[in-house]
């Protein structure tokens, strides 16, 4: 089966500066990848490069076999990339429901299905984006990305800055989306121990290069690598 995503020797950054120094990754259909690494190692730059908002230098990106390396960001969304950036990017002056329908594309995900995944959004359907809590905004950002019916979902630190109870609620929804619905996804997350049980595969970046690639189960069991590349201590909750 054609993989959802294949990047080959991808080099990209900001202007003339390269942040990614040749990243080659494959995501098979229906699998999820945890993208890990310390601060500033290039995780956001990699995901933003897939979304088409950094400076491309060399290498290639194929989505379901189609070369999208030079496609504009809006065309990548149409090609099947659903992107939830770190800053969430919801429309603050539109209601929850308007946010969801504004960029909808036909497919299995519609408003009712998103409300089924996030009942809080249904309760808040008539509230404006700027009247939502941080957790509700993040749920809306994920819901909006689902409404474009993507083939690959990119989530950039979805739990950052959220209260622990909301983090658990959001991660439970993400688990239903990737396990129950079989969505392929890349999830950037600081809390390795929270995200590894939800994902199939894991990659660790360091200085723009892949320093670990394997299954999430193997990484979760490898205290040495967790400590060395992520600073995760034995028995730590993160």
Ligand X SMILES: Nc1ncnc2c1ncn2[C@@H]1O[C@H](COP(=O)(O)OP(=O)(O)OP(=O)(O)O)[C@@H](O)[C@H]1O
CB of 131 to ligand X, least distance (A): 27
Binding site for ligand X (CB under 6 A): 14, 19, 37, 39-45
Distant-in-sequence, close-in-space partners of 54: CB < 8 Å, separation ≥ 6? 12, 13, 14, 19, 45, 48
* Minimum CB distance to ligand X smaller for 58 or for 131: 58
For residue 72, count CB atoms less than 10 angstroms from its CB and return exposed for 0-12, middle for 13-18, buried for 19 or more.
Answer: exposed
CB of 53 to ligand X, least distance (A): 9
* Minimum CB distance to ligand X smaller for 78 or for 236: 236
Residue 88, CA distances (Å) to 41, 64, 133, 160, 231 in order: 21, 26, 12, 11, 27
CB of 177 to ligand X, least distance (A): 22
| Cβ contact 77:83 at 8 Å | yes
* Minimum CB distance to ligand X smaller for 13 or for 143: 13
* Minimum CB distance to ligand X smaller for 124 or for 229: 229
Q: For tokens 């491309």, name the residue.
A: 56
* Minimum CB distance to ligand X smaller for 117 or for 196: 196
CB of 164 to ligand X, least distance (A): 19
Token code pair at residue 165: 């109870």
What is the C-alpha separation between 49 and 5, in angstroms, rounded? Answer: 13
* Minimum CB distance to ligand X smaller for 14 or for 119: 14
Helices (H) and strands (E) in the chain, counts: 10, 10
**184: closest CA among 27, 79, 64?**
27
CB of 167 to ligand X, least distance (A): 16
CA 11 to mean position of chain CA atoms = 19
Give the DSSP letter of residue 128.
Answer: B
CB of 10 to ligand X, least distance (A): 13
């Amino acid at each position: 089966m054609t993989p959802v995503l294949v990047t080959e020797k991808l080099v990209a950054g900001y202007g003339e500066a390269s942040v990614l120094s040749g990243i080659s990754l494959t995501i098979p259909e229906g699998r999820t990848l945890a993208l890990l690494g310390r601060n500033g190692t290039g995780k956001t730059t990699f995901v933003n490069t897939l979304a088409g908002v950094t400076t491309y230098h060399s290498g290639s990106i194929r989505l379901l076999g189609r070369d999208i390396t030079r496609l504009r960001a809006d065309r990548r969304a149409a090609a099947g990339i659903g992107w939830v950036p770190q800053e969430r990017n919801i429309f603050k002056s539109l209601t929850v429901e308007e946010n969801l329908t504004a960029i909808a594309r036909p497919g299995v995900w519609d408003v009712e299905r998103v409300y089924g995944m996030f009942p809080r959004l249904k309760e808040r359907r008539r509230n404006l984006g700027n009247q939502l809590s941080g957790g509700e905004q993040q749920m809306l950002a994920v819901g909006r990305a689902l409404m474009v019916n993507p083939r690959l979902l990119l989530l950039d630190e979805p739990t950052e800055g959220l209260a622990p109870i909301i983090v658990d609620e959001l991660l439970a929804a993400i688990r239903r989306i990737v396990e129950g619905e079989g969505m392929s996804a890349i999830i950037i997350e600081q809390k390795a121990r929270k995200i590894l049980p939800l994902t199939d595969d894991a990659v660790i970046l360091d200085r723009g290069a892949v320093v670990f690639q394997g299954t999430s189960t193997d990484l979760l069991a490898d205290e040495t690598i967790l400590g060395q590349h992520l600073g995760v201590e034995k028995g730590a909750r993160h």
